[in-house]
């Protein structure tokens, strides 16, 4: 077998291996080699890589909204916060998205303390209800942040820590389930310290006994199983 033919056979075998492991739309070994060659040469800079990732994540979220929420969106102008170590998951919140709409999209059992959460939850650190869509970064973890256990919502506010709102947490659940068919917070509870209801209580979200629960906690309560999720935002 000639050297060229042998190289072709080897490349084809590599493509089949990658396709089998990553799926039929995975990049070819040749494309990966060229990508890393450009990084090594300096042609593929950090900013170019970040631009590629931003385009991909925006398109991914547009597809998610169309499939799961039945909403056509354009996230081409959404700014993605710069990456911070550990904060690998990007969430994009569409203009006008309501908690009730996100809950309606759940393909799994769920329960909400408020009959009308859109009216009952009156305070949010961030909102796109009457504003343009926005993006945040969160830790890509099943359980809420371990380093925030033992902190009440009041403690978090006093320290100026940015944390998930209740809408962001429900949307996080939807996206995670769409990707994995699994659920978040199966052992602990996300304290949505970025939100408050009209009585000043703090929404919390968790998975228990085959159902997603959206309930509330007092802003002063401290419990090791009640943990907020920190966010990176613009």
CB-based contacts of 17-24 (< 8 A; 24+ apart in sequence): none
106 is a domain residue: yes
Partners of 191 in beta bridges: 204
CA distances from 184 to 145, 178, 205 (A): 12, 12, 9
Residue 218 DSSP label: -
**Average pLDDT score over residue span 144-168:** 98
User: How far is the C-alpha of 213 from the C-alpha of 206, rounded, in Å?
Assistant: 5
73 is a domain residue: no
Range of the domain at 188: 79-233
124 is a domain residue: yes
Length of the chain: 234
How high is the pLDDT of residue 206? 98
Report the C-alpha dihedral over residues 203, 93, 149, 139, rounded to 10 degrees: 160
23 is a domain residue: no
Counting the structural domains of the chain, the total is 1
108 is a domain residue: yes
Better-predicted residue by pLDDT, 52 or 8: 52
Banded model confidence at residue 46, pLDDT cuts 50, 70, 90? confident
Banded model confidence at residue 8, pLDDT cuts 50, 70, 90? very low
51 is a domain residue: no
- Which residues of 144-193 form beta strands (DSSP E)? 189-191
202 is a domain residue: yes
């Amino acid at each position: 077998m000639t050297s060229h033919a042998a190289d072709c056979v080897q490349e084809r075998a590599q493509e089949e291996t990658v396709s089998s492991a990553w799926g039929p739309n995975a990049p070819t070994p040749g494309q990966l080699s060229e990508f890393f060659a450009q990084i090594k040469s300096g042609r593929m800079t950090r900013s170019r890589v970040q631009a590629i990732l931003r385009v991909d994540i925006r398109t991914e979220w547009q597809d998610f909204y169309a499939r799961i929420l039945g909403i056509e969106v354009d996230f081409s102008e959404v700014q993605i916060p710069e990456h911070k170590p550990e904060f690998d998951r990007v969430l994009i919140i569409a203009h006008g998205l309501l908690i009730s709409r996100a809950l309606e999209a759940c393909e799994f059992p769920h329960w909400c303390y408020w009959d009308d959460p859109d009216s009952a939850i009156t305070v949010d650190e961030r909102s796109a209800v009457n504003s343009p869509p926005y993006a945040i970064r969160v830790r890509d973890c099943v359980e809420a942040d371990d380093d925030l256990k033992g902190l009440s919502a009041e403690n978090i506010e006093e320290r100026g820590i940015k944390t998930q709102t209740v809408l962001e947490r429900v949307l996080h659940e939807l996206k995670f389930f769409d990707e994995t068919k699994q659920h978040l917070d199966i052992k602990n509870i996300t304290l949505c310290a970025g939100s408050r209801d009209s009585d000043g209580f703090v929404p919390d979200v968790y998975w228990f006994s085959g159902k997603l629960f959206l309930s509330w906690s007092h802003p002063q309560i401290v419990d090791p199983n009640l943990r907020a999720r920190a966010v990176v935002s613009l």
